Chains A and B, each alone.
Chain A
Amino acid sequence: EDQVTQSPEALRLQEGESSSLNCSYTVSGLRGLFWYRQDPGKGPEFLFTLYSAGEEKEKERLKATLTKKESFLHITAPKPEDSATYLCAGGTSYGKLTFGQGTILTVHP
């Protein structure tokens, strides 16, 4: 059975305090590892797709990396507006996404 586990469940940071979110996955026939951001009351917003181990992608203060078993979302010098729930999902060849439960990030000014 495909499984995606995210840790920690919640993370509180001070503005400027860098940290990482973890996504461990067991997905048969993985065709991509996706990261989304979700604000309260909104739908998930696409951030990154990673396709192979060793791949890295960056967007502003966020950098996503991928190994054969895990993905990390590194947040450098976060700001309060980075507060959100971050979701990762493993994708298969027929389009099914298996989501983790998310990490709730709170950045205090």
Chain B
Amino acid sequence: NAGVTQTPKFQVLKTGQSMTLQCAQDMNHNSMYWYRQDPGMGLRLIYYSASEGTTDKGEVPNGYNVSRLNKREFSLRLESAAPSQTSVYFCASSGGPQETQYFGPGTRLLVL
């Protein structure tokens, strides 16, 4: 089992460029999440998907969109990147909304 995988591991963008962060899990989990981690701010929830076919906003959704492609995959899209989106992005999954979340290795994004 690979658990939660994320691609790419590292990305540099220019302001205004777009990109999609990919996340996949092989644990047959129903719920998936996207967080960002910034120094001094802790991990903050961007979007989550309680089950296949549903998505909801978290604490900091502005500037992002998500797609729950199927039960395994949950992508995060930045349509027009801004320097304020420089961060480390983590994907997580859980069996259900109240169950333990397991995290991927992260994507480090730098927006110039």
Chain A residues with CB under 8 Å of chain B are 4, 31-32, 34, 36, 41-46, 49, 87, 89, 91, 93-97, 99-102
Contact = CB atoms under 8 A, between A and B. Distances in A.
B98 A43 contact: no
A44 B43 contact: yes
The 4 A-B pairs with the shortest beta carbon distances in the complex, nearest first, are: A95-B97, A43-B103, A99-B43, A99-B42
A89 B45 CA distance: 12
Given A49-B100, A95-B96, 5 more contacts: A42-B105, A96-B45, A97-B45, A97-B101, A99-B43
B12 to A, nearest CB: 17
Contact of A31 (B33, B98, B105): B98
10 contacts: A4-B42, A34-B100, A36-B103, A44-B43, A46-B101, A93-B98, A94-B97, A95-B33, A95-B101, A99-B42
Interface of B: 4, 31, 33, 40-45, 48, 50, 56, 58-59, 90, 94, 96-98, 100-106
Contacts of B43: 44, 87, 89, 97, 99
A103 to B, nearest CB: 12
A88 to B, nearest CB: 10
Given A87-B43, A101-B41, A93 B103 contact: no
A93 B31 CA distance: 13
* Residue in B40, B42, B43, B45 whose Cβ sees the most chain A Cβ within 10 Å: B43
B90 to A, nearest CB: 5
A95 B94 contact: yes
A101 B40 contact: yes
Given A34-B100, A91-B98, A43 B106 contact: yes
Nearest to B45: A96
A95 B42 contact: no
Contacts of B48: 95-96
Given A97-B45, A101-B40, A43 B90 contact: yes
Given A42-B105, A95-B31, A100 B98 contact: no
